[in-house]
Structure 1
Amino acid sequence: MGIFSRLTDIINSNLNSLLDRAEDPQKMIRLIIQEMEETLVEVRSSSARVIADKKEAQRRLERVRSESEEWESKARLALEKGREDLARAALAEKQSLAEEEAIIDQEFKALDDHLAQLSEEISQLQQKLNDAKAKQKSLVMRHKTVSSRMKAKRQLHRETLQDAFEKFEHYERRMDNMESEVEAMDLGREGKHQLADEIDSLAQDDSINAELERLKADMGGKKGSDKAE
């Protein structure tokens, strides 16, 4: 089942309305163009058949008219020869052909009218098809434009992010450098602190040793006194 079921549906269709309702306008316009082209082929084929029928009717009409003229000539000849009976019979044949001629003439006119109608429909359908193709080009151009804008925005977004990352890395490197400078300033100082701590430790050891000897002496003196008693 196509987008359009009859030729009049295509001719009376509103392309803008169809495209506005479509979820995928580009796909819809392709289907519409395909349907129109197929219908146009069918209408042109019908027109070709009508033209062939019209030519055949024209030949029959010319043949009947030619035979009618011949029977009239025969009727005249019969009258000239005094054969009224033959003249009457000839005129009867001519009358029969005149009736056939009238029928063929009506058929020819009907075919002519049908062909004119088909020609008008082909013209309208072709115009619709041209409009559809123009809209297809417009949709393609709009799609390309939107795609280009989206690509540009994405590129700008990526560049913005890249710039932010670069700034962050720059600040991170600055912090690393500052920390490195602080650590560099402490280099050498650590050895001095260790040396001073060791010397202070020696002094502290001497003080502890002196205190220890004092306690020993004191304790030794007390033990001597206890024995003397």
Structure 2
Amino acid sequence: MGIFRRIKTITMAEINGLLDGIEDPIAMLNEYSREMEQEIAKGQKALARQIFVEKKQEALISETQTLVDKRTRQAKLAIEKGEEAIAKLAVQEKLTHEKQLAVYQEQYDAVKAQTKILLEKLDELRETFNQLQQKKILLASRANVAQSMKQIQKATVSFQKDTIARGVARAEERILLMEAEVQAGSQFSAPLAQFDATYQTFIDDEELNREIEKLTKEKVNI
């Protein structure tokens, strides 16, 4: 690949990479895929032209063979009739067409060989393209994983060890404080309950005097 072709490939890869929204390595693979698709399209057009030439050569051979057969019959007929001049003319044209037929056949064989080579090259190109497509999927996956790992590593490196330690210590202090608050609450709940019970059983003087007065009246009535 020449320097200008490499520059073109890199430039096209960058442009198409922006359009495709993918990383540079995958953009390069996509650009190569596009180039191979274009080459395959060119190969298919060339193969179509080659097949067209081959068919025309076949038709030319068939037409020339028909003329050879026709002049052969005319020559035989003229010989049978004793028409020597006509026989010579028919034989002369027969030989001329036979020489043309040999040339056409040789050309046809060369065209057929070229068609075979072109077809093989086109098949190889398609196979390479298919392999590239499969490899591109694998490489795209690897590139995504590598990019993700790179981002994770970058994020990990951005944190300092001391910062993390201080954060853990603050979290631990916060948890200890929460546990202390819960424990303090549970300790105060029982004395308050006992105080409430004591308060409920406390009898003041007024209540005591009323009860004595009540009992005194009941005794008198008895």
How does the TM-score come out when normalised to structure 2?
Answer: 0.60
Unpaired runs of 5+ residues, structure 1, are 6-22, 176-229
Relative distance call for 1:75 and 1:3 in structure 2 (3 A) is: farther
C-alpha distance in 2 between matches for 1:4 and 1:133: 23
C-alpha distance in 1 between matches for 2:30 and 2:134: 12
C-alpha distance in 1 between matches for 2:149 and 2:97: 76
Q: Structure 1, residues 12-44: CA drift from partner, whole Å, max 9, x if none?
A: xxxxxxxxxxx9321211111111111111111
User: What residue in structure 2 maps to residue 32 of structure 1?
Assistant: 32
Contact 1:61 1:104 (8 Å CA) reproduced: yes
User: What residue in structure 2 maps to residue 138 of structure 1?
Assistant: 138
Relative distance call for 1:102 and 1:146 in structure 2 (3 A) is: same
Relative distance call for 1:4 and 1:72 in structure 2 (3 A) is: farther
C-alpha distance in 2 between matches for 1:112 and 1:68: 23
Q: CA deviation at 1:151?
A: 6.2
- Which structure carries more relative contact order (alpha carbon 8 Å, separation 6+)? 1
User: What residue in structure 1 maps to residue 66 of structure 2?
Assistant: 66
Q: Structure 1, residues 38-66: CA drift from partner, whole Å, max 9, x if none?
A: 11111111111000000000001001001
User: What residue in structure 2 maps to residue 46 of structure 1?
Assistant: 46
Q: Structure 1, residues 116-152: CA drift from partner, whole Å, max 9, x if none?
A: 1101111221122122112210111112323454566
RMSD of aligned alpha carbons: 3.5
User: What residue in structure 1 maps to residue 114 of structure 2?
Assistant: 114
Whichever residue aligns with residue 50 of structure 1, its letter is Q
Relative distance call for 1:173 and 1:145 in structure 2 (3 A) is: closer
C-alpha distance in 1 between matches for 2:7 and 2:96: 47
Whichever residue aligns with residue 65 of structure 1, its letter is Q
C-alpha distance in 2 between matches for 1:155 and 1:25: 23
Identical residues among aligned pairs (%): 20
Q: How many residues align?
A: 159
